[in-house]
Amino acid sequence: MLFFLRLFSWLPLPVAHALGATLGLLGLLRRRHRALLRDNLKLAHLYHPFCLFRAGMELGKGLAELPLIWLAPLPRVFGLIREVRGWEHVEAASRNGGGHGIALLAPHLGCWEICGMFIASRLPFTALYTPPRQEWVHSMMRDGRERAGLKTVPPTTGGVRALLARLKGGEATFILPDQSANRGEGQWIRFLGHPAYLPSLPYRLIASTGAVPLLVYAERLSWGRGFRLHVEPLPALPEGDQETLARVASLAMSAIIRRHPEQYLWSYRLFRHHGEVPPPPEDLP
């Protein structure tokens, strides 16, 4: 399988995206998959048949681009970043952060893999990382990321302590903040207008270290032209106010997702209610 993925990685990005879009459309023929995308889009008040088709196509593109990003030579991978918008916010945070570090918040929008690798090549950071079950996939993913300078730690108590130490030392962290959290590890918050049990860790780290939070994502350009990297700051927030920070970050992430709704990971069961997690409060802000 790895041999065929290496061959696939040499395809031009427009060809890989065309194949991925075709597979994504075929995937919509599966009733459960189509229903999951449709239901998530409806909960976010973004459903439209055309958006559903586009979302299916973009999911396919996202899978088809991974061999190229993990296996192709780095100069070719980074050459796919056609534009970077907002890098001055990273420079300002590095210059004026007072040694508090930078918390890069990357929602599952566009291509977060190339986003993380590109930033890691210019700004050393550490990210939490849960290895996939297949060892060969783990090796391919780990090697592809680490060659760009991306450092990872496991999602354990020791890993969280490592992130905390990195931020206190003035370094950066890379966090996917829009994942469904386990009991005791998250908080109910309105995300895309609907209650979601999201991790509280990013906001605990920011509140306890004074790290500068920045939203980052790599927009997938049409017709396989590459990617546009975005870096956006959050509005000014009260220091140490974890709950307010989480709400503001959720609103900011929701806003950028609504700009590119078809590129979000709608196949993820983000709005599910875990059996072990109490239901959201009725007066959720």
Domain map (residue ranges) of the chain? 81-263
User: What radius of gyration do the chain's Cα atoms show?
Assistant: 19
Summarize the confidence of residues 96-117 as an average pLDDT: 89
Instruction: For residue 93, give both structure tokens.
Output: 């945070």
Residue 2: the pLDDT is 78
pLDDT band at 99 (very low <50, low <70, confident <90, very high): low
In this predicted model, what pLDDT tens digit does every residue of 256-280 receive, in sequence order? Answer: 999 999 999 999 888 877 677 777 8
Residue 242: the pLDDT is 84
Instruction: For residue 174, give both structure tokens.
Output: 């890379």
pLDDT band at 240 (very low <50, low <70, confident <90, very high): low
Residue 155: the pLDDT is 82
Task: Please report the sign of the dihedral spanned by the C-alpha atoms of residue 54, residue 57, residue 59, residue 62.
Answer: negative
Pairwise CA distance, residues 221 & 266, whole Å = 19
How many residues in total does the chain contain? 285
Quote the pTM value. 0.93
Phi, then psi, of 11 in degrees rounded to 5? -65, 145
Whether residue 238 has pLDDT greater than 70: no
Whether residue 11 has pLDDT greater than 70: yes
In this predicted model, what pLDDT tens digit does every residue of 107-125 receive, in sequence order? Answer: 999 999 999 999 999 998 8
DSSP codes, 72-137: S-HHHHHTTEEEEE-HHHHHHHHHHSTT--EEEE--SBB-HHHHHHHHHTTS-EEEE----SSHHH
Pairwise CA distance, residues 82 & 85, whole Å = 10
